[in-house]
Amino acid sequence: MDTIKPPAESLYEKELQALRLHDTAPKPPNWLLSPKAVRDFILGRDTPLDLNGESVKITRKFYGDDVLIERAIVSLAGNRGLMLVGDPGTAKTMLSELLSAAISGTSTNTIQGTAGTTEDMIKYSWNYAMLLDKGPSYEALVPSPLYTGMKKGIITRFEEITRCPAEVQDVLISIVSDKVMNIPELEDGVLFAKPGFNIIATANIRDKGVNEMSSALKRRFNFETIFPINNVKMEAEIIESQAKTMLRQSGVPIETDRDVVELLATTFLELRTGKTQEGYKIETPQAVMSTAEAVSVYVQSAMTSHFYDDKPISLERLVQNMLGAVVKDNHKDLNVLKTYFSKVVKERAKGEGLWEDYYNTKKWIK
């Protein structure tokens, strides 16, 4: 069945099957792939694998610190949880999804942290009609993703954990430490986690509405910080790869324009870091100029051009959609973008045709 956003285990089903078929390295208990094969799934490998006569290429899905991936995998094989932290839009969620799909075969066993998340949503709740009829029983218990992860021995993902109140976060302390969940309503109410269970949590370090984690909970996790991409070529590769996938899933049969992708990646990187390729310092907006935002800008621009202009993509549509990404948290950020065009883009427009066309779109920044 077609879905808008298939989970990683469906999107990369053939790659996972090929890796399992050829994986001879030692595996931790209840893992579907060895740590080495999990690394290959996320970072890719040079040679394709044979799957029933079909050559399957294992693609790179994460761009950044390769050693971080190895540390993350080893953390999950041990007795501590994995905490992925970083700015919004740095692929923390994508990485947790890929790790879960490779290790447990499912990435959908997920708790979404919000200000309204309660202890019941993390541990378990009750079917109250059955509870009133028969009293406390396992039949009346409604398992949470954490309960399911412990019972089946699979990874549980906890997205945006710092959006939960601190007292709700601390429910995890004993579970991560002892791998045991007490259910006092039941006479024999103790759930011991099966091998393979662990938690991957994500948290933003620069965002509104977050709650500080307690020191006790922090000690139960290995922290890995995912930094924004600081290389134009690498960021352009990510934008192009993800844009192709998203456009294909949206039924938009157009090719990406590598030159426009690199121009967009350059703009986002320079506005994010506050430094141009020439080494000049520039003002940065308050908005999060993440790679994920850049992908969204490109996809929206390409779709707008396709549906309304009968073109693959135009720079005018790119700038129109960029405004929504830059001028999001503070209207003063509009001046930051205006200054970028009047100084950086204007100077580059003197020497290159694409940047000249880019500069001519400044009329939309108003």
The reply to whether 210 and 104 lie within a common domain is: yes
| pLDDT at residue number 205 | 76
* In contact, 194 and 152? CB cutoff 8 Å: yes
The tens digit of pLDDT for each residue in 49-76 reads 999 999 999 999 998 899 999 999 999 9
The reply to whether 79 and 204 lie within a common domain is: yes
Does residue 21 sit within a domain?
no
Q: Mean of the pLDDT values across residues 66-95?
A: 94
The reply to whether 104 and 246 lie within a common domain is: no
Does residue 4 sit within a domain?
no
The reply to whether 240 and 221 lie within a common domain is: no
The tens digit of pLDDT for each residue in 129-142 reads 999 988 999 999 99
CA distance 157 to 213: 17
The reply to whether 200 and 239 lie within a common domain is: no
Q: Considering the chain, what percentage of its residues have pLDDT values greater than 90? A: 83
Does residue 54 sit within a domain?
no
Phi-psi region of 64 (alpha: psi -120 to 50; beta: other; left: phi over 0): left
Reply yes or no on whether the pLDDT at 331 is more than 90. Answer: no
The reply to whether 147 and 270 lie within a common domain is: no
The reply to whether 255 and 315 lie within a common domain is: yes
Q: Mean of the pLDDT values across residues 278-307?
A: 94
The reply to whether 100 and 159 lie within a common domain is: yes
Phi, psi of 85 (to 5 degrees): -120, 160
The reply to whether 215 and 240 lie within a common domain is: no
How many domains is the chain built from? Answer: 2
**Which of 226, 249, 270 is at the close of a domain?**
226
Does residue 81 sit within a domain?
yes
Domain span including residue 261: 232-364
Does residue 45 sit within a domain?
no
Does residue 58 sit within a domain?
no
| pLDDT at residue number 209 | 67
Does residue 68 sit within a domain?
yes
| pLDDT at residue number 208 | 64
The reply to whether 307 and 211 lie within a common domain is: no
**Which of 184, 211, 226 is at the close of a domain?**
226
Reply yes or no on whether the pLDDT at 320 is more than 50. Answer: yes
Q: Mean of the pLDDT values across residues 3-21?
A: 94
Render 279-332 in DSSP notation, one character per residue. Answer: S-B----SS---HHHHHHHHHHHHHHIIIIISSS--HHHHHHHHHHHHSSS-TT
Q: Mean of the pLDDT values across residues 264-293?
A: 94
**Which of 178, 211, 226 is at the close of a domain?**
226
The tens digit of pLDDT for each residue in 156-207 reads 999 999 999 999 999 999 999 999 999 999 988 999 999 999 999 999 876 6
The reply to whether 284 and 330 lie within a common domain is: yes
- Residue at 230: amino acid letter: N
Q: Where residue 1 falls among pLDDT bands split at 50, 70, 90?
A: very low
Q: Which residues contact 257 (CB under 8 A, 6 or more apart)?
A: 312, 313
* In contact, 145 and 197? CB cutoff 8 Å: no
CA distance 140 to 317: 54
| pLDDT at residue number 225 | 95
- Tokens representing residue 328 in the block: 């999001």
Does residue 18 sit within a domain?
no
Q: Mean of the pLDDT values across residues 241-265?
A: 92
CATH of the domain at 133: 3.40.50.300
Reply yes or no on whether the pLDDT at 5 is more than 90. Answer: no
Q: Which residues contact 235 (CB under 8 A, 6 or more apart)?
A: 229, 265, 268, 269, 291, 294
Reply yes or no on whether the pLDDT at 339 is more than 80. Answer: yes
Reply yes or no on whether the pLDDT at 291 is more than 70. Answer: yes
Q: Where residue 224 falls among pLDDT bands split at 50, 70, 90?
A: very high
The reply to whether 222 and 267 lie within a common domain is: no
Q: Mean of the pLDDT values across residues 82-88?
A: 93
Greater model confidence, 353 or 22: 22
